[in-house]
Structure 1
Amino acid sequence: MTAADTLVAEVSALARAKINLTLHVIGQRADGYHLLDSLVVFAEIGDKVTVRPFSDWGLTVTGPNAEDVPGGEENLVLRAARHASKVPVHVTLDKRLPAAAGVGGGSADAAAVIALCGGSAAGAEALGADVPVCLAGPGPVRMRGVGEHVTPLDPLPALWAVLVNPRVPVATPNVFRALQVKEHPPMPESIPRFPTAGTFIAWLKRQRNDLTAPAKTVAPVIDDVLQALAPAPFSAMSGSGATCFGLCMTERAATQLAADIQAQHPGWWVASAPLAKRVS
């Protein structure tokens, strides 16, 4: 008997923001799906997901970004609840991450629901390409294929992320349609252990996000976001955008950079947080 059969109390979890530190598009299948090779990490910031037993399936969406999230059966978290739980549950989603932002918000929420209901990763890819990698976190993960092949990686040096979204939603299909070249080199077959944050950042600078250029044609403001993050030792776009990130060596540097960007662009969503470590 699984936890999903016996859920008797309210449980909550943080659905951490997903960051694609790299995103190599290495091919396209006959059915149109793109093949990826991506190094994924998670930040200690995200949506709060709460699940409790209930007489029927239900969803309540709250939080500062609730208005951008569909309610009812079309929301991915309810589909995830039905996938994972054998008893009806009510999900409360406190939406703190911006929607359609390239940080896996909906997929992270769905993965959190599956975990809270005691479900497994089996079949999770049917809910969304990023759900399996979100289930595999919160430590660093290599994601390949269309998202279904996930491999946990060795711990990374301590780093802090500054996440910036210009509050411009970017639809992933539009970005892939704008991608002209479908086949690029993958990451190295073996990703080494990195003794310091500096060696890791030097390695990252030799990798890519192949969706950056097409995403800029969809949302040119991404250029402005990357320019704002330029003081960070490393910055890039996450996923299909429009959220971009900067990696900093210290919490103080990340906090200061986030404050500077927020002061210059008060309409943008800006947050800083440490990268998550794998739960032992």
Structure 2
Amino acid sequence: MAIEVFAPAKINLTLHVTGQRDDGYHLLDSLVVFADFGDFLTVAPSDEMEMTVSGPFAKGVPTDHRNLCWKAAELFGETVSIHLTKNLPHAAGIGGGSSDAAAVLNAMTLLFDRPCAGDSVSLGADVPVCQVGKAVRMQGVGEVLTPLDCEPLFAVLVNPRVEVPTPVVFKGLACKTNPKMSAPPKTGTTGWLTEQRNDLEGPAIAAAPVIHEVLQALSQLEGVRLVRMSGSGATCFGVFDNRSHAEAMAHQLAKAHPDWWVRDVTLS
């Protein structure tokens, strides 16, 4: 028996860094949503662990114990074969590896009819929220999750195909005790979002100046209502009133910057 699972792109609509623990882990307050675009995985019981990868971003993805999917299977405690179709860019601030690992855990829960006994946050702060796969307020080091009812948002995702290592961005963060978010509303989300922020945007731009160029290009698109970076970068997003407008703007941006990765998505 094999199970195919979807691993959607994770988008941090906000990301407030509110503190740092003595063990070095950062405390976050973030509104996380998920796109209708992402990776796909097929997971099946196996006599030994094995992993294969295909897709447009397969190059460079490890297929052994270094891969977070492999580590997720080990955490679950069963041997499986995993095939990953990699559609999302690497080190892009959209939770590609974390979403893949979460999908493996969810698939194994179905395959073996039991939950994972291990703590998925040990795989990374984004893995628990990716297991939820829908709008969530994420706090603490990623373990405090509050599901939310948020209206769908129509967005354009842009990645300049530059990998930005998360530790480098956090290291460049000057202030690590910033204010928390205000309570997110169920409707009128876009207006509320303009009052929030991503505290990692500045240090990410310092590490990869092209992010500033991406944000400027998005801000110049007709009808854009919000422009921000997701996670630790380099992926940025622009929010529009409807999907058809987002699709048109994605086409325009991709034509102007053929070297960038551009996708129109619905976020929820």
Could you say which TM-score interval applies, normalised by the shorter chain? over 0.9
Residue from 156, 173, 185 that aligns with 1:192? 185
Shift of residue 21, structure 1, vs aligned partner: 0.1
Q: Distance in 2 between matches of 1:235 and 1:132?
A: 26
2:80 is the counterpart of 1:89:
yes
Q: Which moved more, 1:145-154 or 1:113-122?
A: 113-122
Alignment pair present for 1:201 and 2:190:
yes
**Alignment partner of 1:66: what SS?**
coil
Structure 1 position 76, deviation (Å): 0.5
Preserved CA contact (<8 Å) 1:255 1:272: yes
2:12 to 10, 20, 29: 20
> Which letter maps to 2:217?
A
TM-score w.r.t. length of structure 1: 0.90
Aligned partner (choices 148, 156, 179) of residue 153 of structure 1: 148
1:85 deviates by: 4.8
| Equivalent residue number for residue 3 of structure 1 | none
Return the letter of the residue paired with 1:152.
P
**Structure 1 unmatched ranges of 5 or more:** 1-8
| Unmatched runs of 5 consecutive residues or more in structure 2 | 110-114
CA distance in 1, matches of 2:40, 2:116: 20
Contact 1:12 1:48 (C-alpha < 8 Å) held by counterparts: yes
CA distance in 1, matches of 2:63, 2:45: 19
In the TM superposition, residue 83 of structure 1 has moved relative to its aligned partner by 1.9
Does the CA contact (< 8 Å) of 2:50 and 2:63 recur in 1? no
The residue that corresponds to 2:174 in the other structure is 180
Give CA deviations for 1:75-115 in whole Å, capped at 9, x if unaligned.
000111122253x2100010000000000000000000000
- Count residues with an aligned counterpart: 260
Shift of 1:64: 0.5
**Out of 177, 187, 208, which is 1:219 matched to?**
208
Residue 132 of structure 1 contacts residue 148 of structure 1 at CA under 8 Å; is this kept in 2?
A: yes
Q: CA deviation at 1:120?
A: 3.7
Do structure 1's residue 124 and structure 2's residue 115 form an aligned pair? no
Aligned-partner SS, 2:6: strand
Alignment-derived partner of residue 137 in structure 2: 142
Aligned-residue RMSD, C-alpha: 1.2
Structure 1 contact 43–161 (Cα < 8 Å) conserved: no
Determine what percentage of the aligned residue pairs are the same residue: 52
Q: What SS does the corresponding residue of 2:59 show, helix, strand or coil?
A: helix
Supply the distance in 2 between the matched residues of 1:147 and 1:76 (Cα, whole angstroms): 17
* TM-score between the two structures when normalised by the length of structure 2: 0.94
C-alpha deviation, 1:174, in angstroms: 0.3
- 1:122, distance to aligned residue in structure 2 (A): 4.9
Equivalent in 102, 106, 124 of residue 111 of structure 1 = 102
Change (3 A) 1:121 1:211: farther
2:112 corresponds to = none
Displacement, 1:68?
Answer: 3.1
1:153-210 CA-to-partner distances (Å, cap 9, x unmatched) read: 12x222212111000000000001111111110012x33321xxxx211100000100
